[in-house]
A and B are shown apart, each in its own frame.
Chain A
Amino acid sequence: QVQLKESGPGLVKPSLTLSLTCTVSGFSLSSYGVIWVRQPPGKGLEWMGVIWGNGNTNYNSALKSRLSISRDTSKSQVFLKMNNLQTEDTAMYFCARWDHWGQGVMVTVSS
């Protein structure tokens, strides 16, 4: 069955880089796009970006200068990297295939 699972550090210091991995199963990354969405505590959802089946990417314009999404199709993994983290980047980070979502990973930005 289709599954997605995020992994990464729970705590990141300000100004450093966040690296998250979304490991998928049950489908091919060459055939489906994967989106990243984040949610600060107690707040709404924010679309961060997408990597499509053909490998093309698109990003939230507000994050574009700091954000990179890539993948390794052989490992069924999608990667999110965001640099210069600030406290306002503290959030739950989700990867999803629209109709299937990971459980999310909480990332706290704090010194």
Chain B
Amino acid sequence: DIQMTQSPSSLPASLGDRVTITCRASQDIGNYLRWFQQKPGKSPRLMIYGATNLANGVPSRFSGSRSGSDYSLTINSLESEDMAIYYCLQHNEYPFTFGSGTKLEIK
């Protein structure tokens, strides 16, 4: 199975900060990478698909990028509504696998 190593597991940040979350794939997954946001008690929400494409309705302060086997989610100018847990998911090869999650919280 492809392992998605996500870091950091916890990310304290201040409002207005620029933050980056990273997932490293253990094998080539091309651009078959999605990012999800999950708030407490809620279902996950698709934020990024195809590694770099913003999903419908997602604010433009969110962006996705790829450098080799490293995939990043960046949030510019953090807002309070962005506090959540973020997960990456690879869907290039079965079984699809999630990263372990990054909890973004207010410092």
Taking Cβ atoms with an 8 Å cutoff, the residues of A that contact B are: 35, 37, 44-47, 50, 58-62, 94, 96, 98-99, 101-104
Q: Contacts A45-B87, A58-B94, A58-B95 hold; do A101 and B44 have CB atoms under 8 A apart? A: yes
Q: When the two chains form the complex, which single residue of A37, A58, A60, A62 contacts B44, counting CB atoms closer than 8 Å?
A: A37
Instruction: Judge whether B95 and A60 touch: CB under 8 Å.
Output: yes
Q: Write out the residue numbers on chain B whose beta carbons fall within 8 Å of the beta carbon of A59.
A: 94-95
Cβ-based interface call for B89 (8 A): yes
CB nearest neighbor in A for B6: A44
Q: Contacts A94-B43, A98-B49 hold; do A44 and B87 have CB atoms under 8 A apart? A: yes
Chain B interface size, under 10 / 10 to 19 / 20 to 34 / 35 or more: 20 to 34
A37–B97 Cα gap in the complex (Å)? 10
Cβ-based interface call for B36 (8 A): yes
CB nearest neighbor in A for B36: A45
Q: Write out the residue numbers on chain A whose beta carbons fall within 8 Å of the beta carbon of B34.
A: 98
Instruction: Judge whether A44 and B98 touch: CB under 8 Å.
Output: yes
Known: A58-B95, A94-B43, A94-B44. 6 other contacts (CB 8 A): A37-B44, A44-B100, A47-B96, A96-B43, A98-B46, A101-B44
A52–B98 Cα gap in the complex (Å)? 19
Cβ-based interface call for B55 (8 A): yes
Q: Contacts A94-B43, A98-B46, A101-B44 hold; do A47 and B55 have CB atoms under 8 A apart? A: no
Q: Contacts A61-B1, A98-B34, A99-B56 hold; do A45 and B44 have CB atoms under 8 A apart? A: yes
Q: Write out the residue numbers on chain B whose beta carbons fall within 8 Å of the beta carbon of A99.
A: 46, 49, 55-56
Instruction: Judge whether A45 and B95 touch: CB under 8 Å.
Output: no
Q: Write out the residue numbers on chain B whose beta carbons fall within 8 Å of the beta carbon of A98.
A: 34, 46, 49
A61–B98 Cα gap in the complex (Å)? 14
The digit string for B72-107, where 1 denotes a CB below 8 A from any CB of A, is 000000000000000101000011111111000000
CB nearest neighbor in B for A64: B95
